[in-house]
């Protein structure tokens, strides 16, 4: 079993860690109750199949947590360059220091992590090395510095007309690091002036009524209490997991809870059409492995049925990963078959495919993938897409300006079509455009920045589409902030 470190963090509920990075071959993790998990970092042999992913092998003592394959689907997981071939002694020493820091941080939290093997010499390290870290939003270990950010902006001014290009950025910092390959799918020309498209303008009142912003919420307090809580927080749209997102167990919502949930919706006049539960991270509906595919399809169907019981018509999920075992085209076919299978056994819920950052072997990072999946789905009335701003940007769609948004959404409309748009995930990005890293950041705090969000809340093509924040924090202020971006007309200020 393998899991990314962010999953480990979630399983163990380690929230207080600000930074974790270690180079060793074994860690043991215990908490106050008992020893629940020990984990061993995989060998390079295992790593090779999962390039760019932080992988930790998990040995689960109580046999209830199944962590197969989830690193491929992990939202907001943290990934480093493959540095195996380039580690220098100073780098190594730095990592050993980080390792010590980790222990001191962890010892102060409720969970204890002990590195049982010291960091090794670079030669040996090549066999076992892995970099892993947790990051807290307000103490980011990996967030780009302002200088890097400005450099990247400056670099953009020299980039090209809006075409599909593959460029290689050369970070000025360490020579020992490989330059990261960055793929830009849609860019814009900085010299071109943004001209608002008048057909998408609306009055301020229409915008305030039409734009439905909210956030992903926890169902810890029970599904029925979700609605009141959303309203108290000023949310007009919500998402949540109908089951534990990192488990194969599936939803366990009883009929009574489903009934009172629906009553709450009616009572508070909160339409289920602004609710879009998120599917399990375990799903791989395009899996090349028969057993995983079957498990994924069963879980997918169970979650969709659960949405139907709750009276919800939108259900959002990540399309899947080819795991380098089959081609993208073959995997896309498998994904479409998975949707067709679920459609046969449901009647009202729409399968909403989320675009991805293209991390690992995830599909859905290009609009063409979404189009091709839809093309193979029999019932087109119950398939749609969810655009995640962080994922789009990381995948190479440059939406860091009004003009960029105009170009990218034109491209989306041309390839997929706004008629298939069912949901939006509003997230800024810690990763730069085209880096293919799925790292969510709070609104306006990342490399996307405020113009994108200002653009979207003023465009009537997003009216009545649930817009869900998947960022850290309570979201109350972020939702208010986003509504404050709604203005009288579409002129750029
Ligand atoms: Zn997602
Ligand atoms: Zn998302």
- Would you list the domain boundaries of the chain? 2-128, 198-484
Identify the active-site residue in 71, 82, 303, 388. Answer: 388
> Residue 463 and residue 208: Cα distance in Å, rounded?
9
Quote the ligand 1 centre to 29 CA distance (angstroms).
28
Which pLDDT belongs to residue 143? 29
> pLDDT exceeding 70 applies to what percent of the chain?
63
For residue 362, give the ligand nearest its CA: 1
Identify the active-site residue in 73, 440, 447, 454. Answer: 440
Residue whose C-alpha is closest to residue 230's, from 486, 484, 483, 474? 474
Quote the ligand 1 centre to 6 CA distance (angstroms).
15
Sign of the alpha-carbon dihedral angle for 333, 334, 340, 344: positive
Q: What would the mean pLDDT of 450-463 be, rounded to a whole number?
A: 97
Active site residue 68: no
Q: What would the mean pLDDT of 55-83 be, rounded to a whole number?
A: 31
Active site residue 388: yes
Quote the ligand 1 centre to 238 CA distance (angstroms).
13
> Residue 28 and residue 493: Cα distance in Å, rounded?
54
Active site residue 343: no
Q: Where residue 492 falls among pLDDT bands split at 50, 70, 90? A: low
Active site residue 455: no
Q: Is the pLDDT of residue 142 over 70?
A: no
Q: What would the mean pLDDT of 118-144 be, rounded to a whole number?
A: 30
Which pLDDT belongs to residue 174? 47
For residue 389, give the ligand nearest its CA: 2
Identify the active-site residue in 23, 274, 281, 420. Answer: 281
Overall pTM > 0.85: no
Q: Is the pLDDT of residue 196 over 60?
A: yes
The separation between CA 492 and the C-alpha centre of its own chain, rounded to angstroms, equals 29
Active site residue 464: no
- The CA–CA distances, whole Å, from 366 to 276, 369, 408 equal 22, 5, 11
Active site residue 475: no
Q: Is the pLDDT of residue 345 over 80?
A: yes
Per-residue tokens: 181: 């390959």
- Residues in the chain, overall count: 493
Instruction: Spell out the long-range contacts of 41-50 with Cβ–Cβ below 8 A and sequence spacing 24 or more.
Output: 41/128, 41/130, 41/132, 42/2, 42/128, 42/130, 43/127, 43/128, 44/84, 44/126, 44/127, 44/128, 44/129, 46/2, 47/130, 49/323, 49/324, 50/2, 50/360
Question: Can you tell me whether residue 142 is helix, strand or coil?
Answer: coil
Four-CA torsion 277, 282, 285, 290, nearest 10 degrees: -150
Quote the ligand 2 centre to 86 CA distance (angstroms).
33
Q: Is the pLDDT of residue 169 over 70?
A: no
Q: Where residue 400 falls among pLDDT bands split at 50, 70, 90? A: very high
Active site residue 291: no
> Residue 232 and residue 224: Cα distance in Å, rounded?
14
Q: What would the mean pLDDT of 8-13 be, rounded to a whole number?
A: 47
Active site residue 470: yes
> Residue 212 and residue 456: Cα distance in Å, rounded?
11
Which pLDDT belongs to residue 181? 87
* Mean per-residue pLDDT of the chain: 75
Q: Is the pLDDT of residue 238 over 80?
A: yes
Question: Which residue spans within 76-156 are E strands per DSSP?
Answer: 111-115
More confident residue, 99 or 427: 427
Q: Is the pLDDT of residue 325 over 90?
A: yes
CA atoms within 13 A of residue 479's CA, in its CB half-sphere: 25
Determine which of 22-36, 155-169, 263-277, 371-385 has the lowest per-residue pLDDT on average: 22-36
- Listed ranges 19-28, 31-40, 435-444; the one with the highest mean pLDDT: 435-444
For residue 387, give the ligand nearest its CA: 2
Active site residue 86: no
Active site residue 322: no
Quote the ligand 2 centre to 427 CA distance (angstroms).
8
Q: Where residue 377 falls among pLDDT bands split at 50, 70, 90? A: very high
Quote the ligand 1 centre to 281 CA distance (angstroms).
8
**What is the DSSP pairing of strand 111-115 with strand 26-31?**
antiparallel
Determine which of 22-26, 354-358, 434-438 has the lowest per-residue pLDDT on average: 22-26
Quote the ligand 2 centre to 147 CA distance (angstroms).
28
CATH level 3 topology of 198-484: TIM Barrel (3.20.20)
Per-residue tokens: 126: 């090549």
Q: What would the mean pLDDT of 378-384 be, rounded to a whole number?
A: 98
Per-residue tokens: 208: 């305030």
Contact criterion met (CB below 8 Å) for 251 and 307: no
Contact criterion met (CB below 8 Å) for 319 and 326: no
Residue 336 burial (C-beta neighbours within 10 Å; 0-12, 13-18, 19+): buried
Identify the active-site residue in 50, 382, 425, 447. Answer: 425
Which pLDDT belongs to residue 98? 53
Q: Where residue 233 falls among pLDDT bands split at 50, 70, 90? A: very high
More confident residue, 24 or 354: 354
For residue 278, give the ligand nearest its CA: 1
Quote the ligand 2 centre to 388 CA distance (angstroms).
5
Question: Can you tell me whether residue 39 is helix, strand or coil?
Answer: strand
- Protein residues within 5 Å, CB atom, of ion ligand 1: 354
> pLDDT exceeding 90 applies to what percent of the chain?
61
Q: Give residue-wise pLDDT tens across range 457-474.
A: 999 999 999 999 999 999
Q: Where residue 68 falls among pLDDT bands split at 50, 70, 90? A: very low
Active site residue 69: no
In the 8-state DSSP scheme, what is residue 345?
T
């Amino acid at each position: 079993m393998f899991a990314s470190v962010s999953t480990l963090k979630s399983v163990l509920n380690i929230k207080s860690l600000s930074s974790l990075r270690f180079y060793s071959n074994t860690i043991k993790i215990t908490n106050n109750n008992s020893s629940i998990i020990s984990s061993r970092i995989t060998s390079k042999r295992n790593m090779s199949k999962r390039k760019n992913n932080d992988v930790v092998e998990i040995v689960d003592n109580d046999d209830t947590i199944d962590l197969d394959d989830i690193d491929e689907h992990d939202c907001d997981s943290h990934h480093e360059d493959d540095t195996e071939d380039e580690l220098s002694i100073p780098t190594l020493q730095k990592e050993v220091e980080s390792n010590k820091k980790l222990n001191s941080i962890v010892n102060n939290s409720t969970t204890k992590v002990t590195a049982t093997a010291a960091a090794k010499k670079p030669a040996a390290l090549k066999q076992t090395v892995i970099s892993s870290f947790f990051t807290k939003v307000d103490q980011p270990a990996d967030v780009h510095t302002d200088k890097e950010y400005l450099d990247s902006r400056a670099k953009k001014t020299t980039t090209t007309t809006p075409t599909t290009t593959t460029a290689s950025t050369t970070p000025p910092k360490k020579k020992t690091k490989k330059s990261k390959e960055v793929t830009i799918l849609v860019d814009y020309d900085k010299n071109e002036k943004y001209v608002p498209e008048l057909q998408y303008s609306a009055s301020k009142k229409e915008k305030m009524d039409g734009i439905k912003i909210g956030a992903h919420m926890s169902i810890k307090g029970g599904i029925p209490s979700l609605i009141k809580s959303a309203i108290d927080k000023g949310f007009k749209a919500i998402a949540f997991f109908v089951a534990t997102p990192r488990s194969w167990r599936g939803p366990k919502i009883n009929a009574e809870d489903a009934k009172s949930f629906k009553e709450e919706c009616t009572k508070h006049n909160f339409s289920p059409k602004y609710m879009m539960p998120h599917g399990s991270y375990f799903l791989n509906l395009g899996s090349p492995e028969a057993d995983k595919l079957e498990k994924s399809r069963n879980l997918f169907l169970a979650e969709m049925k659960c949405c139907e019981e709750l009276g919800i018509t939108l259900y959002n999920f990540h399309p899947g990963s080819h795991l380098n075992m089959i081609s993208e085209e073959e995997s896309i076919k498998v994904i479409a078959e998975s949707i067709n299978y679920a459609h046969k056994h449901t009647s009202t819920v729409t399968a909403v495919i989320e675009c991805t950052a293209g991390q690992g072997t995830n599909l859905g990072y290009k609009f063409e993938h979404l189009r091709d999946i839809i093309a193979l789905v029999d019932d087109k009335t119950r398939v749609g897409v969810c655009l995640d701003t962080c994922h789009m940007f990381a995948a190479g769609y440059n939406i860091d300006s009004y003009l960029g948004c105009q170009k990218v959404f034109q491209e989306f409309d041309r390839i997929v079509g706004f008629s298939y748009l069912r949901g939006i995930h509003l997230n800024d990005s810690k990763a730069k455009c085209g880096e293919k890293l799925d790292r969510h950041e709070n609104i306006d705090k990342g490399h996307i920045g405020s113009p994108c969000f200002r653009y979207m809340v003023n465009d009537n093509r997003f009216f009545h589409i649930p817009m869900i924040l998947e960022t850290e924090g309570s979201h109350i202020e972020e939702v208010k902030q986003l509504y404050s971006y709604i203005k009288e007309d579409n002129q750029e200020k």
